[in-house]
Structure 1
Amino acid sequence: MLETMIARRSILASLGAAGTALVAARAFPASAQAVDTARAAAFIQATGQELVAAINGRAPVAQRREQVAAVLRRAVDVDGVGRFILGRYYRQATPAEQQQYMRLFEETLIRNLSARFGEYQGVRFSLGRAQQRTEDDTLVNTVIERPNSAPFSLDWRVGEVGGQPRVVDVIAEGTSLRLTTRSEYSAVISRNGGRVSALLEAMQNQVAQLAAREGR
């Protein structure tokens, strides 16, 4: 659900052994380069408007989820996100595991976020301040309003990837989702003897669970 994006506990559920639910998040890819504040703000403004239009549309929930998913695929550097989150384990994984991980990561990310965004209506989005924080990214503040709920602030880190602005992290109440996700993915692997395959199994289970819920 949309409020989980700003909850103090973050949108990430705790990851346990294989089969525990995963909730994907955005991360900061090492390949990102600086993007000026005006361009970053315009990018987030356009992305937010697209998301709100899809969320508030009159289409059935399943169709709205697909529309949201399309926006997210354009907005997020999924490849850079996935590589950063897996960290050193990406280099340790076999080529087959790397390929499987990236496929599962994108599917998990898009299914989770599109399902949550796509279930809401009556959402409003406004742009706040944009400021360059490091040599690699610009932070853009947004305010999200929902019916019968207090407005909340969500910060988006934007970097330039392949010549285009992309979302590389989300900051919810001061918590970086990229770092939280990396830590939780690493914990799953560490608790299972350093096996990347344990994380892949958990991700496969999560994708199956999401698909089953969407099919209800």
Structure 2
Amino acid sequence: MPDVTLARRLFLAALPALMAGPALAQAVDTGRATTFIQATGRELVAAINGGGSVAQRRQQVAAILRRAVDVDGVGRFILGRYWRQASPDEQAEYMRLFEETLIRNLSARFGEYQGVRFSLGRTQQRAEDDTLVNTIVERPNTAAFSLDWRVGEVGGQPRVVDVIAEGTSLRLTTRSEYSAVISRNGGRVSALLDAMRNQVSQLAAREGR
């Protein structure tokens, strides 16, 4: 299948909600953004390093990420101009698949083995009305890596609007990949949905569920 990085969110069923634009991210001050990422990081580490099976810890991590990430806003940004070309049913299915894969991929970055550590780096205000919070993730027997979290205020609450791993933006990279899949298939959003379903199935099989 095409090389695509993906994810899921349950979308509101009503047509007006489907057609309305997502809440736009507003500026959030650096102190609030830092506190938000610090608290989120602590939750993630506690879930990963806590008791329970791998599957239970993975579910806890997924629940934390769903609360922290502006999945609707990121998903619609990534689909770009193709959002309005999609039917309401395609929009709803896209958001479902997008959240599924996004959460699985972000969860995988933290790993499933206990002993994960999470530390804060530099925080800076950006011109794009969001704040960039740098973190370092350390896992057993694996080199530490950097994750930058772009944080904006969405609906009055700080939310992650992008994740930058080793200098690569998740939403920009994924937007380019999604657009390429649709373009190669005659502009059909349904072709992207097929690729996303396949990717979700592969991820689930790899995780043993």
TM class by smaller structure: 0.7 to 0.9
Q: Which runs of 5+ in 1 are unaligned?
A: 1-18
Q: Which runs of 5+ in 2 are unaligned?
A: 8-21
The alpha-carbon distance between structure 1 residues 148 and 107, as it changes in their structure 2 partners (threshold 3 A), is: closer
- Is structure 2 residue 92 aligned with structure 1 residue 99? yes
Query: How far 1:110 moved relative to its partner?
Result: 1.9
Q: Secondary structure at the match of 2:132?
A: strand
Query: How far 1:120 moved relative to its partner?
Result: 2.8
Query: How far 1:156 moved relative to its partner?
Result: 0.7
- Is structure 2 residue 181 aligned with structure 1 residue 188? yes
| Equivalent position of 2:102 in the other structure | 109
Query: Moved runs in structure 1, 4+ residues, more than 4 A?
Result: none
- Is structure 2 residue 119 aligned with structure 1 residue 126? yes
| Equivalent position of 2:19 in the other structure | none
Query: 1:57-68 to 2 correspondence within 5 Å?
Result: 57-68=50-61
Is residue 132–residue 150 contact of structure 2 (8 Å, CA) maintained in 1?
Answer: yes
Q: Secondary structure at the match of 2:143?
A: coil
Higher RCO (CA-CA < 8 Å; seq separation 6+): 1
Q: Distance in 2 between matches of 1:214 and 1:198?
A: 25
Query: 1:107-186 to 2 correspondence within 5 Å?
Result: 107-186=100-179
Query: How far 1:115 moved relative to its partner?
Result: 4.6
Query: How far 1:122 moved relative to its partner?
Result: 1.1
Q: CA RMSD in A?
A: 1.8
Q: Distance in 2 between matches of 1:75 and 1:177?
A: 15
The alpha-carbon distance between structure 1 residues 172 and 115, as it changes in their structure 2 partners (threshold 3 A), is: closer
Query: How far 1:175 moved relative to its partner?
Result: 1.8
Q: With structure 1 as the length reference, what TM-score do the two structures score?
A: 0.84
Instruction: Specify the code of the residue in structure 2 equivalent to 1:35.
Output: V
* Further displaced range: 203-212 or 130-139: 203-212
| Equivalent position of 1:90 in the other structure | 83
Q: With structure 2 as the length reference, what TM-score do the two structures score?
A: 0.86
Instruction: Specify the code of the residue in structure 2 equivalent to 1:123.
Output: V
Q: Secondary structure at the match of 1:159?
A: strand
Q: Secondary structure at the match of 1:144?
A: strand
Q: Percent identity?
A: 85
Query: How far 1:116 moved relative to its partner?
Result: 4.9
Q: Secondary structure at the match of 2:159?
A: strand
Output one character per residue of 1:107-128: Cα deviation in whole Å (capped at 9) or x when no partner: 1212333355352321111111
